[in-house]
Structure 1
Amino acid sequence: MDKEILLIEDDLSLQKTVADFLKSSGFKCICATNIKEGKQLFDKKFYPIVLLDLGLPDGDGLDCIPFIKSIWNETGVIIISARDKLEDRVDGLNLGADDYLVKPFHLSELNARINALLRRNFHTHTSIIKFENIEIETQDRTIKIDGEHVDFSKKEYDLLLYFIENENRVLTKESLFEHVWGENSVFMDNSDFIYTHINRLRKKLKKHTGENYIKTVHGFGYKFEIH
C-alpha cells in the first residue's frame, strides 16, 4: 500500500504536528494550505488518503470532495474540522467523505482511522494477504498456515490481520483496541483484557508456526516482526 497522505490544512502549527506524527507512524505527509494548492497536488498523483480541513482560506473544503472522488474514487477522505454540527457531518459524508473527525482530536485516533480506512480500501482490491507461511483470505476471513486451515476466533483474526498490515511498527494497546473493539470502550482501561487476547493469539501462532512474531515493547505496546 502507498504510504503517502495528502493533508489540506491552513493551521501551520497543526499541520506540522500531524505531519510529524504521521512520519513517526511510517507515513509520508504532503501538505497544502488551501484548496487550490491541494487540488494541484492531488491532480498530479494518487494519494490513498486525504485529510481535509473545511475552513480553508480560499473556500469550503467540502467543495474538494467531489473533485477528489471524480479523479480517484479509491482515495479515502477524512474530514478534520472544528465544525461539529450534524449537518456538516451529513453534508461531508453525502458528498463522498469516508470519515469525519472533530478538532481537537487525539493523534492516536487519527492514526487508527487512517489505518482502518486503508485496510478497508485495500481489501476491496486484494483478497489474500501473506506473511511468511501465513496466508489470510480476507473475503471469507479464513487463515492458512503452511497451506493448512487453522481456526482463529473473530478477535484473533482481526488482531492478526492488523498486526500483519502494520509489520515492524509499534502498536499501542489503545490503537489495537480501537481497531478490534471499536467504540466498545468498557474494557479500554483494562490492560489484562488486551493482554489476554494478545497472549492467546501469540500462543496459537507459536503452536502452528514455531515462531514468536508478536514482541512486547515495554512501555509502548507490541510489534509484529520476524526475529
Structure 2
Amino acid sequence: MKNEILLIEDDIELQKLVSDYLKKSGFICVCADSIHSGKLLFEKHKYEIVLLDLGLPDGDGLTCIPFIKSIWNETGVIIVSARDKLEDRIDGLNLGADDYLVKPFHLSELNARINALLRRNFHSTSYILKFEEITIDTQANIVFIQGEQVDFTRKEFDLLLFFIENKKKVLTKENLFEHVWGENSIFMDNSDFIYTHINRLRKKIKNHTGENYIKTVYGFGYRLEID
C-alpha cells in the first residue's frame, strides 16, 4: 500500500501525463475517470494518496471526500482542480481534503506536495505516544485522556500529535501550517485561523485535565509543556 496513488481525473490526456510522471517518480498510480469508478477502486483497496479532480462527468468530486475518509481516514486527499475560488478551497478543506492544487500546475510541484503529505502522515517510531495524561494511538487515530477516549477533529488530532512529537519545542505558526495544512495553505497569513484551532484544542484538553499545556510564546509561537 505504501506509495500507491489513486488518480480520479476525467481528462485522459492529463491523466496519462500525471500517471506516467508519478510512475517514473517511484509511485504506483491507478486511474479512474469518474466518481463511480473511483469509489469502486477505493472500496477494493485503500490508497495512501488520492488525487481528486472536482469537475467529473457524474458529479462534483467534493462528494468523494467524506466517502474516502469514512473508509480510511489516513488517506491523504489532494484536490487537483481548475476551480480556484476561495469558496471551493474552503469547502474542500472543511470536508477533509489535505491540500488543494489549482490547474494548470507543474508536475514537480504536485510531486513535492505528495511527498510532503506522505511525510506528515508517516510515523516511523512507536505508534503509541504519551504526554502526561494524554495517550495517542497513531495507528487507530485515537486519543485517550486519563484513560477516557476523547474525540478530536482530524486537524485537532494532527495538531496535538505534532505538539507531542515536538514537546518543549517552540513551534511557529509557519511550522504548524506546513505540517498540518501544507506549506502552501491559503490560510498561511491568517493568524485568527490558527488561533481558533489552537484555542479549540486547548479547551478540549483542559476540559479533561484541568491543565493548559499549550503555552503561547509571545512573538514566536506555541510550546507544549508542563507548568
TM-score by length of 1: 0.56
Q: CA deviation at 1:125?
A: 7.2
Whichever residue aligns with residue 11 of structure 2, its letter is D
- Identical-pair percentage: 76
Residues of 2 paired with 1:126 and 1:39: CA distance? 32
Q: What pairs with 1:53-132 in structure 2 (closer than 5 Å)?
A: 53-123=53-123
Deviation at 1:123, TM superposition (A): 2.6
Which of structure 1's runs of 4+ aligned residues deviate more than 3 A? 124-127, 138-141
Hey, what does 2:28 align to over in structure 1? 28
Q: 3-state SS of the aligned residue for 1:6? A: strand
CA distance in 1, matches of 2:39, 2:33: 11
1:30-77 per-residue CA deviation (whole Å, 9 max, x = no partner) reads 000000000000000110100000000000000000000000000000
The alignment covers a number of residue pairs equal to: 136
Q: Could you say what secondary structure the match of 1:123 adopts?
A: coil
Amino acid in the other structure paired with 1:67: F
Q: What CA distance in whole angstroms lies between the structure 2 residues aligned with 1:86 and 1:67?
A: 23
The alpha carbon displacement at 1:126 in A equals 5.5
Query: What residue identity is the alignment partner of 1:113?
Result: R
Whole-angstrom CA distance in 1 between matches of 2:109 and 2:47 = 20
The unaligned stretches of length 5 or more in structure 2 are: 128-161, 167-182, 185-227
Amino acid at match of 1:24: K
Task: Tell me the distance in 1 between the aligned counterparts of 2:125 and 2:34.
Answer: 31
Q: Helix, strand or coil: the match of 2:84?
A: coil
Question: How many angstroms does 1:89 deviate by?
Answer: 0.1
- 1:67 and 1:101 map into 2 onto residues whose CA distance is 20
Q: Distance in 2 between matches of 1:124 and 1:58?
A: 39
Determine whether 1:49 maps to 2:87: no
What letter corresponds to residue 12 of structure 2 in structure 1? L
Q: Note the C-alpha offset of 1:3.
A: 1.6
* 2:6 matches 1:6: yes
